[in-house]
Structure 1
Amino acid sequence: MTWDDELATLFADLERQAEALYGEERAAELADRSRAEYATVSLASRLMASMGEEVTLDVLGVGSIVGRLDRMGDGWCLIRSLGTDWVVVAEAVAALRGASERAVPEAAWSPLTRLGVGSTLRGLAAASARCVVHRRDGARHEGVLDRVGADFVEVRPEVGRVQLVSYASLAAVASRD
């Protein structure tokens, strides 16, 4: 082997070592970026990617709700479960199982997802749907949703006085109509 061949072999070996080091550094950098990027992923964006799938939500004051994720809005989701529709307030979700591994960024969401829980409750009130309103503390109010204010909903029971339930205490609304 001539000195030119030895020098070329040496340079080739140094180049392979440099590529290996660059690959290791690049892999570590990509892992760091991936972790940093994932820190911006919200529970709502994971739920959005799970649209149409069966999920289990553990909801404060309610327990586990299992069903198909049908709709999403600003701060709420709709779960269809064995003849019952559940409007679940996102802040009352303690845990989620069955979610997609993906996430859909909010920039890609439909403009309809900007509708808040009040819009959904107004729809139930207009339909005179019989509902069970679940609060985060475990209390329940059964009746027809009557009127929906800016930060509360009126529940008219069959017997008794109208009850006002604040959105801040709301966990979920179950409707069978």
Structure 2
Amino acid sequence: MGWEDELFALFDDLEAEAGSLHAAERDAEVADRSRAEYQQVTLASRLMASLGTEVTIDVVGIGPLTGSVERLAEGWLLLSTGDHDWVVNSRLVGAVTGASVRSVPEVAWSPLTRLGLGSALRRISEAGERCLLHLRDGSRHEGTLRRVGADFCELAEGEERRVVLVAFDALAAAQSRA
């Protein structure tokens, strides 16, 4: 092998080494960017990507619920467990298992997702159906929702129709009784 061949072999080795160093540097940069971008992903965006998917969610005051995510909106989600539908206060969701690995950014959501927890409870109230309100402290109230205010709902409970006011901040979920 002549000196020219050795020189070209040396250049090839140096070029390969530079290429692998560049690839390693690029991989590190891509990983850093991925981590930086992922901090923009919310739990709600992961749940939005999970619509129609069976998940298990742990809800403060209730425990684990397994069902299909049917709807997601501002501060609440609708979970269908087969026997019952649950309007869950998403602020009290502690953990989720089985969610999609993808996310849907909020800019891609329907304008209807801006309807808050009060809107979901008003639908239950308008239907006149009995429901079971689960509170974050584990207590429960069963009855018929009468009216829904800005930050609370009014439940007619028991045969004596005793009125109970429940603050949204205390409400973990409303469970259908149908």
Do they superpose with TM above 0.5?
yes
Task: Give runs of aligned pairs for residues 23-172 of structure 1, distance below 5 A.
Answer: 23-158=23-158, 159-172=160-173
Q: Which amino acid aligns with 2:173?
A: A
Alignment partners' CA distance in 2, 1:26 and 1:104: 27
How much has 1:110 moved relative to structure 2? Answer: 1.3
How much has 1:172 moved relative to structure 2? Answer: 0.3
Q: Deviations over 1:100-153 (max 9, x none)?
A: 111111111111111111111011100001000111011111100100000000
Taking structure 2 as the reference length, the TM-score comes to 0.95
Q: Which amino acid aligns with 2:174?
A: V
Q: Which amino acid aligns with 2:176?
A: S
RMSD over aligned Cα, in angstroms?
1.2
Q: Which amino acid aligns with 2:131?
A: C
Identity of counterpart residues, as a percentage?
Answer: 56
Taking structure 1 as the reference length, the TM-score comes to 0.95
Alignment partners' CA distance in 2, 1:172 and 1:11: 68
Deviates more, 1:147-156 or 1:102-111: 102-111
Classify the secondary structure of the residue corresponding to 2:68. strand
Alignment partners' CA distance in 1, 2:166 and 2:177: 20
Q: Which amino acid aligns with 2:121?
A: L
Structure 2 gap ranges (5+): none
Q: Deviations over 1:5-32 (max 9, x none)?
A: 3322222211111000001111111111
Classify the secondary structure of the residue corresponding to 2:162. coil
Q: Which amino acid aligns with 2:117?
A: V
Alignment partners' CA distance in 1, 2:65 and 2:10: 65
In the other structure, the counterpart of 1:17 is 17
Q: Which amino acid aligns with 1:169?
A: A
How much has 1:83 moved relative to structure 2? Answer: 2.1
Aligned residues: 177
Q: Deviations over 1:33-65 (max 9, x none)?
A: 111211221111111111101111111111111
Classify the secondary structure of the residue corresponding to 1:18. helix
Classify the secondary structure of the residue corresponding to 1:162. strand
Q: Are the aligned partners of 2:132 and 2:177 in contact in 1 as well (CA < 8 Å)?
A: no
How much has 1:160 moved relative to structure 2? Answer: 4.0
Structure 1 gap ranges (5+): none
